[in-house]
């Protein structure tokens, strides 16, 4: 059986349903104990909502006419926002599946983000090289007037002229990722090889950091408050995890600008996620199809997850830290258990030979 102290590998759950590559997935915050959701973007244009713990399909948001590059759930999980190659970002009702808002753009939208605890604001970016903030509170709500069928909602279209542009002229390359720090006045973008921090009140770029290669993933990792502790990586605050070249970078603090560590690996990295409590990080290797798990403290490899048949473009931990999901070029999502004992659909079953 090998080393008795080695991590026990659990057979992953595989979520099917997409017909093309999955460039991005993310989880909602924890709604109540063990209740949270996962949303996946897909180049088939049909983002999907799933139960976060089991991966069970809940619904598909239909309406995009191009690849969907990113998808996120609002802090209260009542809406979902998607960024698409059809020159729009869209906001959906997660309960009914109805399209609520169409955020019109002039080019491909690659990145989208909600603030940490505010569901009525959305930031977008993409091939226009412009960071915009849309305040949905200011917009006319979708109409479902008494004269119309009560089940028909007419989405509100919002032009880019009604958004606020932040850091005008600063971006020279398409914006691939946007992260709203826990401090709501700070927003971070990834474009090309450069991370930028912006101060929203002044709309100015306050910091730039050039990394060792093109930024392939950039996400804020946070545990639900009930599950976080001062002993976690980052001291109980969210951590910004970034993959660029062969290096994983991590920043902490309420503004996500205190560099905690950067770890250079022997292979390229397509994606990275961090286990704040378990003190390990997971990367999608590039080129390759495996997810590799490393120890945070000494960078030693702990595990290798095989099973995908294409590069892993996105990795995300659940808000309780008990599992993580990987989204791949092969069109599937796999969910990997990250705790002992029963959880979700794992009923204590361990793969006997340690392979998945």
Whether residue 350 is predicted with pLDDT greater than 90 in this model: the reply is no
Answer whether residue 165 is part of any domain: yes
- Dihedral, 138, 141, 142, 144 alpha carbons, nearest 10: -170
Residue 142 exposed, middle or buried by CB count within 10 Å (0-12, 13-18, 19+): middle
Answer whether residue 356 is part of any domain: no
Whether residue 302 is predicted with pLDDT greater than 90 in this model: the reply is yes
pLDDT at 138: 75
Answer whether residue 7 is part of any domain: no
Q: For residue 178, count other CB atoms closer than 10 A to its CB.
A: 29
**What strand order describes the sheet that includes 121-126?**
109-113, 121-126, 131-135, 164-166
Q: What domain range is 145 assigned to?
A: 13-337
pLDDT at 34: 80
Q: Which of 119, 115, 200, 121 is nearest to 158 (CA)?
A: 121
The 3-state DSSP class for residue 331 equals coil
Answer whether residue 236 is part of any domain: yes
Lookup result for tokens 């946007």: 178
Answer whether residue 267 is part of any domain: yes
Cα distances from 165 to residues 170, 171, 240, 244, 252, in angstroms, run 11, 12, 23, 26, 26
Q: Which of 122, 109, 34 is nearest to 75 (CA)?
A: 122
**What strand order describes the sheet that includes 323-328?**
13-15, 333-337, 323-328, 312-317
Mean pLDDT of 335-348: 87
What whole-number distance in Å separates Cα of residue 106 and Cα of residue 112? 15
Instruction: Quote the radius of gyration of the chain (alpha carbons, Å).
Output: 20
Q: Who's near 93: CB < 8 A, 6+ residues apart? A: 78, 79, 99, 100, 153
pLDDT at 349: 45
Whether residue 46 is predicted with pLDDT greater than 60 in this model: the reply is yes
* Among the ranges given (9-23, 82-96, 107-121, 325-339), the one the predictor scored with the smallest mean pLDDT: 9-23
DSSP secondary structure letters along 131-150: EEEEEGGGSPPPB--TTS-T
For 112-171, the pLDDT digits (tens) are 999 998 999 999 999 999 999 999 987 766 654 444 455 677 999 999 999 999 999 999
Answer whether residue 150 is part of any domain: yes
Mean pLDDT of 58-74: 97
Mean pLDDT of 262-282: 97
Contact between 36 and 322 under an 8 Å Cβ cutoff? The reply is no
Answer whether residue 84 is part of any domain: yes
pLDDT tier at 356, thresholds 50, 70, 90: very low
Mean pLDDT of 254-275: 97
For 173-182, the pLDDT digits (tens) are 999 999 999 9
What whole-number distance in Å separates Cα of residue 4 and Cα of residue 97? 47
Question: Contacts for 288-291 with beta carbons within 8 Å, 24 or more apart?
Answer: 289/328, 289/330, 291/315, 291/326, 291/336
pLDDT tier at 9, thresholds 50, 70, 90: low
Count of domains in the chain?
1
What whole-number distance in Å separates Cα of residue 176 and Cα of residue 191? 6
Direct distance between the N- and C-terminal alpha carbons of the chain, in angstroms, rounded to an integer = 14
pLDDT tier at 87, thresholds 50, 70, 90: very high
pLDDT tier at 193, thresholds 50, 70, 90: very high
DSSP code, position 199: E
- Average pLDDT for the chain: 92
* Among the ranges given (5-14, 84-93, 122-131), the one the predictor scored with the smallest mean pLDDT: 5-14
pLDDT tier at 8, thresholds 50, 70, 90: low
pLDDT at 33: 77
pTM, two decimals, is 0.92
CATH number, domain with residue 170: 2.130.10.10
Mean pLDDT of 3-30: 83
Mean pLDDT of 14-27: 97
Mean pLDDT of 62-88: 97
Q: What are the counts of helices (DSSP H) followed by strands (DSSP E) for the chain? A: 0, 29
What whole-number distance in Å separates Cα of residue 205 and Cα of residue 186? 10
Whether residue 355 is predicted with pLDDT greater than 70 in this model: the reply is no
Residue 152 exposed, middle or buried by CB count within 10 Å (0-12, 13-18, 19+): exposed
pLDDT at 331: 97
Residue 181 exposed, middle or buried by CB count within 10 Å (0-12, 13-18, 19+): buried
Q: 230's torsion region: left (phi>0), alpha (psi -120 to 50) or beta?
A: alpha
Answer whether residue 31 is part of any domain: yes
What whole-number distance in Å separates Cα of residue 149 and Cα of residue 316? 39
């Amino acid at each position: 059986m090998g080393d008795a102290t080695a991590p026990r590998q659990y057979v992953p759950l595989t979520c099917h349903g997409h017909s093309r590559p999955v460039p991005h997935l993310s989880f909602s915050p924890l709604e109540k104990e063990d209740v949270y959701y996962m949303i996946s973007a897909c180049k088939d244009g049909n983002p999907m909502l799933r139960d976060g713990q089991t991966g069970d399909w809940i619904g598909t948001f239909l309406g995009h006419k191009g690849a969907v590059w990113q998808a996120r759930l609002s802090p209260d999980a009542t809406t979902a926002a998607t960024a698409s190659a059809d020159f729009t970002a869209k906001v959906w009702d997660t309960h009914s599946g109805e399209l609520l808002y169409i955020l019109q753009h002039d080019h491909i939208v690659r990145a989208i983000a909600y603030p940490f605890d505010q569901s009525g604001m959305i930031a977008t970016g993409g091939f226009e090289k412009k960071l915009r903030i849309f305040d949905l509170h200011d917009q006319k709500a979708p109409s479902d007037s008494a004269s119309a069928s009560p089940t028909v909602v007419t989405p509100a279209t919002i032009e880019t002229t009604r958004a606020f542009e932040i850091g005008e002229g600063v971006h020279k390359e398409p914006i691939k990722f946007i992260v709203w720090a826990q401090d709501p006045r700070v927003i971070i973008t990834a474009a090309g090889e450069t991370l930028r921090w912006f101060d929203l009140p002044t709309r100015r770029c306050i910091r730039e950091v050039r990394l060792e290669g093109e930024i392939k993933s950039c996400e804020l990792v946070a545990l639900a408050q009930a599950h976080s502790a001062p002993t976690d990586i980052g001291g109980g605050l969210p951590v910004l995890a970034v993959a660029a070249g062969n290096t994983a970078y991590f920043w902490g603090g309420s503004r996500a600008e205190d560099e905690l560590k950067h770890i250079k690996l022997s292979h390229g990295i397509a994606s990275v996620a961090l286990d704040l409590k378990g003190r390990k990080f997971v990367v999608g290797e590039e080129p390759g199809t495996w997810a590799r798990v490393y120890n945070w403290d000494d960078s030693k490899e702990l595990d290798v997850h095989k099973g995908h048949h294409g590069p892993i473009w996105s990795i995300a931990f659940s808000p309780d830290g008990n599992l993580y999901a990987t989204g791949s070029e092969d069109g599937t999502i796999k969910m990997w258990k990250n705790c002992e004992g029963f959880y979700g659909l794992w009923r204590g079953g361990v793969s006997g030979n340690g392979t998945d």
